[in-house]
């Protein structure tokens, strides 16, 4: 079975085989269609090519025409440029002429500006004076306004008082009417009750005694009485209304008179104010015109400020040179000031040393005087006194060393002196410098303790007080006095108002330190030794030192 099938397949293949170079019908039709399509495209491209060639020819013709037109335009523009160059040359010559004319105008303007500046200054002064006058007028108007406000306030206060018075009057009338009505009702009730009682009694009596005619007369009398009562009530009411109307009329008359007076015053003030306002409006309009004129002047002046600026630059350069010279002068003044402060310091130091030496000499002299006066023979006491004296001198030297005068600071030197001094104008008297010498009032031990030590030399209660002298210095031009703190005890000068207790406390402190002898002193001796009660010699020494300190 398999062999049979294979043979059949081989036979079929041999029948279908074709030559290798032959094309199928499908390929032929495909190629024919492509050829026809390509032929159509070629014909279409040829037609478009012909159209483009025609358009290209037309464009070339247009280009040639445009080139011709452009050449014509270039020639025309060259001709116009030549004309413009000629015009520029003519304008340049005109500009040179105008510049010359401008320079002449500038010179004329400078002269005019100078004249206008002078006029402006004069007008400025005149306007300032006018402004001051107007300010005075405005101040007067302000005072008038304040017076008017005060009067209006017073008028309002019076109106308030009048209203309060009216209210009070109405209240009083109301109270009076109320009381009157209450009393009237009360009386009416009492009268009615009384009348009823009388009528009953009268009726009882008349029924017995009076006839019918009398009854009729009584009825008429009662009717007349009732009418009279009504008329009296009407009369009272009308009388009260009349009184009220009179009072109201008086008040209204007073108010109308016050209103008329105030109205007349206000009208007169309004008239014056109207006149002032008219004057101010006229002055304001004139000021407006002047202001416009001055604005024009300022515009003209602004053009001339450039030259002024150049002059300012030159002046600034000169000012710089002047400042350099002022700096040199200031440095020289500073050097002089330092030398002056140093010289004053050295003078003060020399005076201080002289005072220390005088104090030491005075203490030694006092010690010798005390020793001679007391005639001490004991060597121990002499040694103690000598040791106390040496200790006192040693402490005095230490305090002199510690209380050195500080170097004063150099005074500030003004860079430039003022042109005018106080008193040059004549309004203020010129300052006169009082050349007061630097003097020192020196108080010796004798002037401080007095002559009590010499007078009471025979007393056993005398004692030697070791103190460091306080130097009173008086300087006229002293700015800052150096604060000297004495570490050692010193003789204190008390005022008359101080108490003796302070003296005793200071003495107790000195005794505790061991610088005072334990021998008691009398009150007079203690006060005289502490400088509280000066002796005759001390008074004379004080009077001698006063003119020196002054």
- pLDDT (tens digit per residue) in 222-267: 888 888 888 888 888 888 888 888 888 888 888 888 888 888 888 8
Where on the phi/psi map is residue 340: left (φ > 0), alpha (ψ -120 to 50), or beta?
A: alpha
| 446 assigned to some structural domain | yes
Q: What confidence score (pLDDT) does residue 76 get?
A: 85
Domains: count for the chain: 2
Two tokens, residue 345: 């310091």
Q: What confidence score (pLDDT) does residue 13 get?
A: 43
Residues 226 and 332 in one domain: no
| 184 assigned to some structural domain | yes
CA-CA-CA-CA dihedral for 126, 132, 137, 143, to nearest 10: 180
Contact 412, 330 (CB under 8 A): no
Residues 354 and 391 in one domain: yes
Residues 168 and 286 in one domain: yes
Rg (CA), the chain: 67
| 280 assigned to some structural domain | yes
Q: What confidence score (pLDDT) does residue 521 get?
A: 41
How are the residues of the chain apportioned to helix, strand and coil, as percentages rounded to the nearest 5?
80, 0, 20
Q: What confidence score (pLDDT) does residue 65 get?
A: 87
| 119 assigned to some structural domain | no
Q: What confidence score (pLDDT) does residue 434 get?
A: 43
- Give pTM, 2 decimals: 0.23
| 395 assigned to some structural domain | yes
Residues 192 and 235 in one domain: yes
| 433 assigned to some structural domain | no
| 527 assigned to some structural domain | yes
Q: How many Cβ atoms are within 10 Å of 389's Cβ, its own excluded?
A: 19
Contact 475, 524 (CB under 8 A): no
Q: What confidence score (pLDDT) does residue 429 get?
A: 65
Q: What confidence score (pLDDT) does residue 183 get?
A: 84
Rounded distance, CA 467 to CA 491, Å?
6
Q: Which of 238, 457, 486, 431 is nearest to 366 (CA)?
A: 457
Residues 541 and 399 in one domain: yes
Residues 521 and 405 in one domain: yes
Residues 300 and 332 in one domain: no
Q: Given 270, 304, 338, which residue is the final one in a domain?
A: 304
Rounded distance, CA 202 to CA 209, Å?
10
Domain range enclosing 200: 153-304
Residues contacting 278, CB < 8 A, separation 6+: none
Beta bridge partners of 439: 474
| 351 assigned to some structural domain | yes
Angle between helices 25-209 and 212-303 (to 10 degrees): 140
- State which residues of the chain have pLDDT below 70: 1-23, 206, 208-214, 371-378, 402-550
Q: What confidence score (pLDDT) does residue 543 get?
A: 44
Q: Given 250, 269, 304, which residue is the final one in a domain?
A: 304
Return the beta strands (E) in 308-369 as ranges: none
Residues 176 and 247 in one domain: yes
The DSSP code for 458 is: T
Residues 287 and 332 in one domain: no
Q: Given 271, 304, 337, which residue is the final one in a domain?
A: 304
Two tokens, residue 109: 């303007």
Residues 334 and 300 in one domain: no
Two tokens, residue 286: 């004139």
Residues 266 and 382 in one domain: no
What SS3 class is residue 474? strand
Q: What confidence score (pLDDT) does residue 435 get?
A: 38
Residues 218 and 250 in one domain: yes
């Amino acid at each position: 079975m398999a062999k049979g099938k294979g043979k059949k397949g081989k036979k079929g293949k041999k029948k279908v085989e074709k030559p290798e170079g032959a094309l199928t019908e499908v390929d032929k039709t495909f190629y024919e269609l492509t050829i026809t399509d390509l032929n159509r495209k070629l014909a279409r491209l040829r037609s478009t090519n012909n159209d483009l060639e025609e358009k290209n020819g037309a464009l070339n013709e247009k280009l040639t025409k445009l080139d011709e037109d452009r050449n014509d335009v270039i020639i025309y523009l060259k001709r116009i440029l030549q004309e413009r160059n000629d015009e520029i040359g003519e304008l340049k010559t005109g500009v040179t002429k105008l510049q010359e004319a401008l320079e002449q105008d500038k010179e004329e303007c400078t002269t005019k500006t100078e004249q206008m500046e002078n006029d402006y200054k004069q007008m400025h002064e005149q306007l300032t004076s006018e402004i001051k006058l107007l300010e005075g007028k405005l101040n007067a108007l302000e005072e008038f306004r304040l017076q008017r406000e005060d009067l209006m306030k017073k008028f309002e206060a019076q109106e308030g008082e009048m209203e309060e018075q009216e209210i009070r009057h109405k209240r009083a009338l109301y109270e009076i009417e109320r009381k009157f009505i209450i009393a009237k009702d009360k009386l009416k009730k009492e009268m009615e009750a009384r009348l009823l009682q009388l009528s009953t009694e009268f009726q009882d009596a008349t029924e017995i005694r009076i006839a019918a005619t009398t009854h009729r007369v009584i009825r008429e009398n009662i009717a007349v009485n009732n009418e009279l009562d009504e008329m009296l009530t009407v009369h009272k009411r009308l009388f009260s209304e009349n009184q009220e109307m009179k009072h109201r009329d008086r008040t209204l008359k007073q108010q109308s008179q016050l209103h008329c007076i105030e109205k007349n015053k206000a009208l007169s003030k309004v008239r014056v104010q109207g006149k002032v306002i008219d004057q101010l409006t006229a002055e304001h309009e004139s000021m407006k015109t002047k202001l416009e004129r001055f604005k024009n002047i300022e515009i003209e002046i602004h053009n001339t400020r450039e030259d002024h600026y150049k002059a300012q630059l030159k002046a600034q350069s000169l000012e710089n040179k002047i400042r350099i010279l002022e700096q040199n002068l200031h440095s020289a003044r500073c050097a002089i000031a330092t030398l002056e402060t140093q010289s004053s310091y050295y003078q003060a130091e020399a005076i201080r040393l002289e005072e220390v030496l005088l104090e030491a000499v005075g203490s030694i002299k006092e010690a010798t005087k005390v020793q001679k006066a007391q005639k001490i023979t004991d060597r121990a006491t002499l040694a103690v006194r000598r040791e106390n004296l040496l200790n006192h001198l040693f402490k005095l030297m230490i305090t002199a060393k510690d209380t050195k005068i500080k170097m004063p600071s150099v005074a500030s030197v003004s860079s430039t002196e003022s042109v005018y001094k106080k008193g040059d104008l004549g309004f203020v008297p010129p300052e006169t410098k009082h050349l007061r010498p630097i003097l020192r009032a020196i108080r010796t031990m004798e002037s401080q303790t007095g002559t009590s030590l010499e007078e009471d030399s025979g007393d056993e209660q005398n004692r030697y007080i070791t103190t460091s002298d306080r130097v009173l210095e008086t300087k006229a031009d002293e700015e800052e006095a150096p604060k000297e703190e004495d570490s050692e005890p010193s003789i204190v000068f008390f005022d008359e108002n101080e108490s003796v207790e302070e003296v005793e406390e200071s003495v107790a402190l000195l005794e505790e330190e061991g610088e005072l002898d334990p021998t008691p002193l009398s009150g007079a001796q203690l006060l005289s030794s502490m400088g509280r009660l000066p002796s005759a010699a001390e008074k004379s020494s004080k009077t001698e030192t006063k003119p020196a300190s002054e």
